[in-house]
Chain A
Amino acid sequence: MSPTTTAKHAQVSASRAGSSQSHPLAALGDLLRFMIRRDRVRAPVWVLAVVGIFTAGVGSVVGLYSTPSQLQNYGEISSADEAIKAMAGPGYGLENPTQGAVVMNEMGLYTLIAISLMCLFLVVRHTRTEEDSDRAELVRSAPVGRYATLTAATLWVSGLNLLTAIGVTAGLLAFGLDTTGSLAFGAAAFGIGMVFVGIGGVAAQVATSGRSATAVGGATLGIFFLLRAVGDVGPEWVRWVSPLGWAQGIRPYAQERWWVLLLLATASALLIIGALRLQSRRDLGAGFLRQRQGPAVGSPRLSSPLAMAARLQRGAIIGWCAAIGIAAFFFGLIANLADNLLENEAISDLLVQSGQASPTDLFLATMVLMLALLASCFTVSSVLRLRTDELGGHAESTLAGPVSRARWTGSHLLVSTIGSVVLLLLGGLMLGVGYAVQIGDASEVLPLVGAAIAMLPPLLVLSGVGFALFGMHARLAPLAWVGVAFSVVVGLLAETLDLPQWLRNASPFEHVAAMPAESFAPLALVILLAIAAALIAIGAVAVNRRDIG
C-alpha cells in the first residue's frame, strides 16, 4: 500500500469513526445496501406484480373500450350504479368517459391499495419485525445511528414506491393514454405509497411486535377505504378525511386537481417525521402500547397443542372478526344502492332480457366473494403459524414433549379452519344484517350466511396449498400467498383483465356459485373439499418424513 492510499484510508476510517459516534444516521448507506440485499426477491416481485397486473389491465380496457359508443355505454352503467362507486371510487369523468377514466374506475383504487400494502409491509419488515428478533440489537450495537434503521427503511421503500409509480405511469403512457392524466395517477400512486411508508413507520413505533404493527397499518388502510366509500355514496366531505380519497381526488383524466397532492405530501411528511420522533423516545424492542404482566400459573385449559394454537391465534381471530364484521355490515348497508341501476330504462331492459339477477343480488354476491377473499388472508396467515412455530424454535420444544407431528400440525389446521368458519359466518351475518337494516326486511340474512359459508371449501384449498408446501419445507410455505394473491386478482379483476377462462378456473373461488345471484351448486364444493383433503394429506405425509427445525 502506498503512503498516500494509507493516509486516505486512515482519513476515511477516522471520519467514519467520528461520524458513527455522534451522527444519528451513521451507517445509513450500509443498512440501505443490506435491506436491498434482503429484499432481492421480494422487492422485484412486488413491483413487477403491481406494475404488470396494472399494465395488463390498461391494455385490456383499451382493447375493450375502443369506440365512443362502448365508452358511453360503460359510463352510463357505471355512473348509475351507486353500489359500485363504494367499491371502485367516485368515477370522475365517467359522464363523458375517456379510456383513462375507465381505467381509473376499473383498476385505480385496487392499485392504490396494493401499493399502500407494499409500502406498509416492507417498512414494518425492516423495522419492527427486525426488533422482534435479536438481530436489531446486534445491528444497533454496531456503530449505527439511532435513526439510521428507520431512515434506511423509509428511503428504500420510498425508492421502490417511486419505481412502482413510474412503472404504473409508463404502463398508462404505453397504451397512448393522455400524458397529464397518466402523470396525475402516477403522482397519486406515489403519494399514497408515501403516506403508508409513514404509517408503517409510526405503526412500528407504537406496536409491540411486527405482527401487530402490520395489523395496525392494515386496520388504518381498512378505515381509509370505508371512509372514502362513505364519501363516494353519501356525504361527500367524508371522502376528504381519507388519504385514499385524496389520491382519487387528484382526478386523473378528469380535470386534474394537482393541489390535492399537497395533502398527500403533507400527511406523509408529518407521518415520517412523527415516526422518527417516536423512535427517539422509545427503547429498542419496546412499543408505546405497554406489555402487561401475565399470569404466574397457566390456565388448566391450556393443556394441549390445540389449546395453545387457539391461544396463540386468539388475537388474530378477534382482530379479523372486527375487520370483516365492520366491512360486511357496511357492504350490506349500501347493497340496495345497486338497484338505482334499474332507474335507467335501457339497462333495466337489458337485464331483464339477459335473464340476469337483480343488480343488488349481483352486488351482494360480489361482496360475499370480497369477504371470503379477506378471510382467506386470515386462513393462510393462520396456517403459516406452523412455519413461525418451527422457525422460531417453538416446534422443537413442543415436539420434544409427548406430541406427535400430526397433533401439532392438526391443531393449527383446526384452529385455522374454525377461525375461517367463524369469519365467514360473521361476514355473511353482518352483510345480511346491514342489508336488512337498510331495506327493513331480514329475509335475506340466512341466505347470505349460507352464501358466505359456501366459500369455506376454497379457503380450505388455499390452506391446503400452504400446508402441503409447509410439509415439504418450512421455507416454502409463504408461497401460499401467491395462491391468495392470484385468487384476489381473479376475483376482483378477471373481467377488467379479460383473463381466459382456464386461468380463472385456477382460482378455487371461481367454482363457487355466486350466491345469491346464482343458485347453490353443491358438486363443485364437494370437489373443492376433496382437493383440500388431498393437499392436507400430502402435507401430513410430507411433514412426517422431513427434519424439523
Chain B
Amino acid sequence: MTTAISLQNVVKTFGPTRALDGLDLEVATGEVHGYLGPNGAGKSVTIRALLGLLRPDSGTISLLGDDPWRDAVDLHRRVAYVPGDVNLWRNLSGGEIIDYFARLRGDVNTKKRDDLVERFDLDPRKKSGTYSKGNRQKVALVTALASDAELLILDEPTSGLDPLMETIFQDCIGEVAEEGRTVMLSSHILAEVERLCDRVTIIRKGRAVQSGTLDDLRASTRTSITVSTERPIERLTSLEGVHSARTDDSGHVHFDVDNHQLNAALSYVTGFGVRSLVSQPPTLEELFLRQYGDDVTEDEPEESV
C-alpha cells in the first residue's frame, strides 16, 4: 500500500496560536479518507499546508511522495482542490472559471465538464458574483471532478449543497473511488463520511486524536445497551467500563459500555434473566461528540440505578 498523503509531527503556529500541534496523518493511495474535527481544529490549515500555501514550522509533509512546499507546481498537476470557502472572480461567468482552471492543468475535457454541469444543475452563463454559496461550490466541484487528478482534496465541499446535490456529490465520489483515485474529504456531514469513507481521522486542537477505519473507531469506544430483565440488575454501575446507566419508566435499563468490556458486562446482565436486549453500535456522531466534548473524561459521574 502506497501513501498519498503523509504528515509527521507537523507544527504550524500563527503568533501565539498553535494551529497544528504535532499533527500526524496518513492517507493511503486509493482510499477515501474522512477528515473530521470541530471548527478551528486545524482542518483547513492542514489542507493549505498540504497544498504548499503555508509553510509548516516543523515536521515533514509528503504529498504524492514529494514536498508540497518545494514541488508545488508539479504536484498540483496531479491534485484537485475544492476550498471550504469558494471565492470566484465576480465578473466572470461560472463556465469561464471552470474552463480557466481546466486549461491551467492542461485541456478541457468538454464531455466530462458538460456532463457534470448538467448533473449538478449549474447555470454556467451566470456571473459568479450572482451565484449563491451552493452554486459557487458547484463551480469548484465541477472543476475538481472534471479533472483527471489522482488526488482530490475537498474541504467541506457540500456545506452549501441541497440534499439532492449532496446525493449527486456522493455518487461522483463513489465513481472517483472506483477509478482508484484518492480522496481526502473534510466534512461535518457525518452521514456523508460514514457512507463514503474507508478511513477517518479526527483532529482536535491541531492533533490527530483518532485515526482508523470506522470499525476500528467503533471498537475503541462504547456500545449502547437497552435491556429488560426478570430481576432488577444490581450494582450495574460498579462494573468496569459501564457508563450512564439509568432505568426508564417502563423498567428498561439503558447503559453504555466500553467495547472491550462488552463481554463481561453482558455475561453479568444475563445473570438477572434477560427478557429483551437491544445493542447499538456507536454512530459516528457519538464517536465524534465524544472526541469533540472538551470535558470528556474516563470517569464521568454516573447515576445509580
Known: A297-B99, A302-B96, A393-B87. A399 touches B124 (CB 8 A): no
A404 at the interface (CB under 8 A from B): yes
B-side contacts of A296, CB under 8 Å:
93, 95, 124-125
Tell me if B54 and A403 are in contact (CB < 8 A). no
Chain A contributes a number of interface residues (CB within 8 A of B) equal to: 38
Chain B contributes a number of interface residues (CB within 8 A of A) equal to: 43
Known: A294-B95, A547-B53. A399 touches B72 (CB 8 A): yes
Q: Nearest CB to that of B96 among chain A residues?
A: A298
Tell me if A291 and B127 are in contact (CB < 8 A). yes
Bound together, the chains give a CA A445 to CA B88 distance in angstroms of 44
A303 at the interface (CB under 8 A from B): yes
Tell me if A291 and B130 are in contact (CB < 8 A). yes
Bound together, the chains give a CA A234 to CA B120 distance in angstroms of 63
Q: How far is the CB of A541 from the nearest CB of chain B, in Å?
A: 14
Tell me if A401 and B76 are in contact (CB < 8 A). yes
Interface CB pairs A-B, < 8 A, 14: A132-B90, A209-B90, A291-B130, A294-B95, A294-B126, A296-B93, A296-B95, A302-B96, A302-B99, A312-B89, A399-B52, A404-B72, A547-B54, A548-B48
Q: Nearest CB to that of A404 among chain B residues?
A: B73
Tell me if A396 and B83 are in contact (CB < 8 A). yes
Q: Nearest CB to that of B129 among chain A residues?
A: A291
Bound together, the chains give a CA A400 to CA B73 distance in angstroms of 8
B165 at the interface (CB under 8 A from A): no
Bound together, the chains give a CA A393 to CA B89 distance in angstroms of 9
Q: How far is the CB of A228 from the nearest CB of chain B, in Å?
A: 34
Q: Nearest CB to that of A297 among chain B residues?
A: B95
A-side contacts of B108, CB under 8 Å:
297-298
Tell me if A403 and B125 are in contact (CB < 8 A). no
Q: How far is the CB of B89 from the nearest CB of chain A, in Å?
A: 6
Tell me if B101 and A401 are in contact (CB < 8 A). yes
Tell me if A298 and B95 are in contact (CB < 8 A). yes
Q: Nearest CB to that of A398 among chain B residues?
A: B104
Q: Nearest CB to that of B53 among chain A residues?
A: A548
0/1 string, B89-117, CB within 8 A of A gives 1? 11111111111110111001010000000
Tell me if A302 and B127 are in contact (CB < 8 A). no
Tell me if B127 and A401 are in contact (CB < 8 A). no
Bound together, the chains give a CA A546 to CA B53 distance in angstroms of 8
Bound together, the chains give a CA A152 to CA B209 distance in angstroms of 49
Tell me if A399 and B51 are in contact (CB < 8 A). yes
Tell me if B53 and A400 are in contact (CB < 8 A). yes
Within B38-69, which residues are at the interface with A (CB < 8 Å)? Answer: 48, 51-55
Residue in B74, B96, B101 whose CB lies within 8 Å of A294 = B96
Tell me if A400 and B79 are in contact (CB < 8 A). yes
B81 at the interface (CB under 8 A from A): yes
Tell me if B53 and A297 are in contact (CB < 8 A). no
Tell me if A400 and B100 are in contact (CB < 8 A). no
Bound together, the chains give a CA A311 to CA B91 distance in angstroms of 10
Q: Nearest CB to that of A293 among chain B residues?
A: B125
Within A106-152, which residues are at the interface with B (CB < 8 Å)? Answer: 132
0/1 string, A392-413, CB within 8 A of B gives 1? 1110111111111000000000
B77 at the interface (CB under 8 A from A): yes
A-side contacts of B240, CB under 8 Å:
none
Tell me if A297 and B85 are in contact (CB < 8 A). no
Residue in A295, A300, A315, A393 whose CB lies within 8 Å of B95 = A295
Within A257-302, which residues are at the interface with B (CB < 8 Å)? Answer: 291-300, 302
Known: A295-B125, A402-B76. A311 touches B87 (CB 8 A): no
A-side contacts of B85, CB under 8 Å:
393
Bound together, the chains give a CA A401 to CA B105 distance in angstroms of 7
**Which 8 pairs across A and B sit closest by C-beta, in order of nearness?**
A294-B93, A298-B99, A393-B87, A303-B103, A400-B81, A298-B96, A296-B95, A401-B104
Tell me if B90 and A402 are in contact (CB < 8 A). no
A73 at the interface (CB under 8 A from B): no
Within A495-549, which residues are at the interface with B (CB < 8 Å)? Answer: 545-549
Q: How far is the CB of A178 from the nearest CB of chain B, in Å?
A: 52
Q: Nearest CB to that of A397 among chain B residues?
A: B83
A-side contacts of B100, CB under 8 Å:
298, 302-303, 308
A-side contacts of B97, CB under 8 Å:
298
Tell me if A399 and B125 are in contact (CB < 8 A). no
A-side contacts of B72, CB under 8 Å:
399, 404
Bound together, the chains give a CA A396 to CA B140 distance in angstroms of 12
Within A412-444, which residues are at the interface with B (CB < 8 Å)? Answer: none
A21 at the interface (CB under 8 A from B): no
Bound together, the chains give a CA A397 to CA B83 distance in angstroms of 7
Tell me if A394 and B73 are in contact (CB < 8 A). no
Tell me if B126 and A403 are in contact (CB < 8 A). no
Bound together, the chains give a CA A304 to CA B127 distance in angstroms of 20
Bound together, the chains give a CA A291 to CA B127 distance in angstroms of 8
Give 5 A-B pairs besides A294-B91, A294-B95 with Cβ atoms closer than 8 angstroms.
A208-B129, A209-B90, A294-B126, A300-B103, A396-B83
Q: How far is the CB of B84 from the nearest CB of chain A, in Å?
A: 10
Q: Nearest CB to that of B104 among chain A residues?
A: A401
B-side contacts of A209, CB under 8 Å:
90-91, 129
Bound together, the chains give a CA A208 to CA B90 distance in angstroms of 10
Q: How far is the CB of B270 from the nearest CB of chain A, in Å?
A: 57
